[in-house]
Amino acid sequence: MIDLDRFKNINDTLGHTIGGDQLLREVAELLNTSLNPCDTLSNTNGEIDLNSCDTIARIGGDEFVVVLNGVDEIQASKKANDLLQKLSTPLFVEGYEIYTSLSIGISIFPSDGQTAETLLKNADIAMYQVKAQGRNSFRFFSPPDMNKRSIKRLEMENNLRYAIERGELFLEYQPQVNVQNRQLFGGSNRSSDGSSRSWVSSDLTSL
C-alpha cells in the first residue's frame, strides 16, 4: 500500500483539477516505470488477481497498490527503497517544483494473509504506522502489535468524532516550568472532551 504524503496540502495549493490530478499522473507514471516489463498500470474496479503479472493500481484518492509476484522481504525492501529514492527528487507540476514523498506499507503472502482483502488491510495498517512515525519510509506488517495500535487509532477517531458532534471538545494549555529556578520556559497544549479522555498534539497528527 502506497500513500502520497501531504497530498491534501498540494491539492489545496495548486487546485484539484489541475495541480492535484497532474501530480497523481506524474507519480503513477513514475511508479509504473519502476516495475518489470510485464507489469501493467490499471484502475481497479474489481479484485486484484494475485496470479497475474505484477500490477500497480490507484485505488482511490492518493493511494496506490503495487502487487509484486514471487518476491521475498529482501526484494520487497529493495523495491520500496527504489520508489522512495525516485521520489526524493522534485516533480514539476504546472511550473511548480514539487517535493513529495511516499509512505509504504508492505504485507507478504501468505504469512500476512491469504486473500487480497486481508493483504490490503494489513498493508494499510503498516502504511499508517509509517505516517505516524514521520512518513517517507516503508514498513512491513508486524502482528499483533500493529493490530493493537490500529484498534487504538480507530477508537481515538470515534471518540474525537463524537466529541466534535456534541461540542464537547476544548483546548487546554499546560505551562512548562523549570523546577530549578521556577521560571516559565514554554508550554504544551492538549485537547480534551471534559472526561478522562484527552489527546496531546502528537496523538492528533497521526490521524
Does 124 participate in catalysis according to the annotation?
A: no
C-alpha cell at 16: 484539484
Active-site choice (62, 112, 124, 193): 62
The answer for residues whose C-beta is within 8 angstroms of residue 198's C-beta and 6 or more apart is 172, 190, 191, 192
C-alpha cell at 108: 507478504
| 101 phi/psi in degrees, rounded to 5 | -150, 175
- Work out the number of other CB atoms within 10 angstroms of the CB of residue 190: 15
* H/E element, 154: helix 145-165
Strand partners, 191: 171, 199
C-alpha cell at 199: 489527546
DSSP helix, strand, coil percent of the chain (3-state; round to 5): 40, 25, 35
Taking the C-alpha atoms of residue 6 and residue 99, their distance in angstroms, rounded to an integer, is 10
Q: Which amino acids are annotated catalytic?
A: 62
